[in-house]
């Protein structure tokens, strides 16, 4: 999405066009401890019963050969976010640095974005009665800090940084590892990448999000 897009409403805040924030989640390091979920709830005062960050559990196999898979989830801060286009009040907007956010003063709680999101990342906050989701902790990022979930990950499974900087930790990590996005066929172009993703996890889980497995090479031209 660029400034010529009719839905573009960003540009007032953020790090600028030279930066595009993203996150890598290395599932080989995730132990399903929910530290990310707890840190997110604490940092952002997320009400009980709803989550900006959560971890899906999927058990595979037959006893005694059973394995548990973990799939941490959050808003994908897509390059072409579907939620953004369906918002009737333009409460959902995108910053120049790629973060997709919600203006609570404009949100009317119509749930259009909740329904449109192919990643189940949005919900209606029971306190504010407006749409809510992960923000990449931009209030921390703007001060030079990393998102709370990244800081709290005890396995160092999460890496956050500038996808447009080839020397950033996230870019170097992606260059060395095969990464996939969730449901890239939607055309949303997620900014969250997974390493070690088992494509059958979501299918067995029965969720609305399917994993189709786009390889990292597809994204290189845009970085």
At 13-46, the pLDDT tens digits run: 555 558 999 999 999 999 999 999 999 999 999 9
Structural domain contains residue 81: yes
Please tell me the predicted confidence (pLDDT) of residue 17. Answer: 56
Does residue 14 belong to any structural domain of this protein? no
pTM above 0.75? yes
Rounded to whole angstroms, the Cα distance separating 216 from 13 reads 29
Question: What is the model's pLDDT at position 221?
Answer: 30
Residue 5 lies in a domain: no
Residue 7 lies in a domain: no
Q: Residue 53 CB: number of other CB atoms within 10 A? A: 26
Per the domain annotation, does 4 fall within a domain? Answer: no
CATH of the domain at 51: 3.30.70.20
Q: Is residue 131, in this structure, part of any structural domain at all?
A: yes
Full domain range(s) for residue 175: 21-222
Give the Å distances, CA to CA, from 110 to 44, 88, 123, 173, 209.
22, 9, 11, 39, 22
Q: What's the domain count of the chain?
A: 1
pLDDT at residue 96, as a whole number: 93
Low-confidence residues in the chain, pLDDT < 70: 1-17, 199-223
- Could you tell me if 94 and 13 are in contact, meaning their C-beta atoms sit under 8 angstroms apart? no
pLDDT at 59: 85
Query: 10 is written with which tokens?
Result: 């960003």
User: For position 13, what pLDDT does the model report?
Assistant: 52
Residues 6+ positions from 40 with CB-CB distance below 8 Å? 46, 51, 52, 53, 74, 134, 148, 149
- pLDDT value of position 204: 52
User: For residue 15, is it within any domain?
Assistant: no
Distance CA 153, CA 25 (A): 10
- Give domain status of residue 158, yes or no: yes
């Amino acid at each position: 999405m660029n400034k010529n897009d009719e839905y573009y409403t960003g540009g007032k805040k953020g790090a600028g066009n030279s930066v595009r924030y993203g996150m890598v989640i290395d599932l080989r390091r995730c132990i399903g401890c929910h530290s990310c979920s707890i840190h997110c709830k604490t940092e952002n005062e997320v009400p009980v019963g709803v989550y900006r960050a959560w971890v899906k559990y999927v058990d595979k196999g037959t006893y005694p050969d059973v394995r548990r898979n973990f799939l941490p989830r959050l808003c994908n801060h897509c390059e072409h976010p579907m939620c953004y286009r369906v918002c009737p009040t333009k409460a959902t907007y995108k910053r120049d640095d790629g973060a997709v956010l919600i203006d609570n003063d404009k949100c009317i709680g119509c749930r259009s974005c909740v329904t449109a999101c192919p990643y189940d990342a949005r919900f209606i906050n029971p306190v504010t009665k407006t749409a809510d989701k992960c923000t990449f902790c931009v209030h921390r990022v703007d001060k030079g800090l990393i998102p709370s979930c990244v800081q709290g990950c005890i396995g160092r499974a999460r890496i956050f940084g500038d996808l447009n900087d080839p020397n950033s930790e996230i870019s170097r990590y992606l260059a060395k590892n095969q990464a996939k996005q969730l449901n890239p066929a939607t055309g949303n172009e997620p900014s969250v990448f997974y390493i070690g993703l088992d494509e059958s996890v979501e299918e067995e889980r029965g969720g609305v999000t399917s994993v189709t497995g786009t390889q990292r090479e597809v994204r290189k031209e845009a970085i």
